[in-house]
Amino acid sequence: MVAVFDEHPELFGRFKIELLRGDVVMTPGPETGHNLIVEAVQDQIPRDRWRRLQRQDVAIPGEISEPQPDLVVVERGAVPGSGRLMPAQVISLLVEVVTESTADRNYGVKRSLYASAGIPAYLIVDPFEAACLLLTQPGGTGGEADYQQRLTQDFGDPLPLDVLGIELDTSEFGTLPKFKRHRRP
């Protein structure tokens, strides 16, 4: 199935397409508020030290998965010169901004995928809850993998991103009305 995406990108250009534990997941392009949050995070990460890549496909070792986080942060010298997939072992931080259609995946399958890959920090920005969840210290394997440290910070409060050596200003993150979730907070 992955070959179809590589051979015919024009068929899927308006959708975000991810391979998550063998399932192909298509979601519509993001709305403006989502993009503004991604931009606000990206703008605060120092460009002289970090590459900030939007919608970059990630290779997860040992998994039939190619997630496409909203933002991938990699140290400048660690980025491979070519290829579609960013190796998980060079990633310092992944950022996902929650939407109604991605909430369960962001808090669930992607969380365990990123932890199983050993990605040091995973930031979930949730405009419906007006809060950020920073996950660090990954451990475990497969679907049981998770992060051992969790820090929740309300929008408006600064969030320490020690992995990048910065404090994230969340005051300009926009909020959205809450909705009924299926399984995750």
Which structure tokens are listed for 174? 């926009």
Say what the pLDDT of residue 1 is. 46
* Cβ(57)–Cβ(86) below 8 Å: yes
In the three-class reduction of DSSP (H, G, I as helix; E, B as strand; rest coil), residue 64 is classed as coil
What number of H helices and E strands is found in the chain? 4, 12
Please state, in angstroms and rounded to a whole number, the distance separating the CA atoms of residues 61 and 89.
Answer: 9
Q: What are the backbone dihedrals phi and psi of residue 178, each rounded to the nearest 5 degrees, phi first?
A: -65, 155
Please provide the average confidence, as pLDDT, over all residues in the chain: 87
Instruction: Supply the pTM of this predicted model.
Output: 0.86
SS3 track for 94-107? EEEECCCCCHHHHH
Question: Is the pLDDT reported for residue 183 higher than 50?
Answer: yes
- Residue 15 pLDDT class (50, 70, 90 cuts): low
Which structure tokens are listed for 178? 């809450």
Radius of gyration of the chain (CA): 16
Q: Which domains does the chain possess?
A: 30-168 (3.90.1570.10)
Residue range 18-44, pLDDT digits in tens: 666 666 766 766 788 889 999 999 999
Cα 159 to the center of its chain, rounded Å: 16
* Cβ(84)–Cβ(57) below 8 Å: yes
| Residue carrying the six token digits 């397409």 | 17
* Range 165-176 average pLDDT: 95
Say what the pLDDT of residue 17 is. 73
**Percent over 70 (pLDDT), the chain:** 83
Say what the pLDDT of residue 50 is. 97
In the three-class reduction of DSSP (H, G, I as helix; E, B as strand; rest coil), residue 74 is classed as strand
Spatial CA neighbour of 93 closest among 116, 118, 112: 118
* Cβ(107)–Cβ(185) below 8 Å: yes
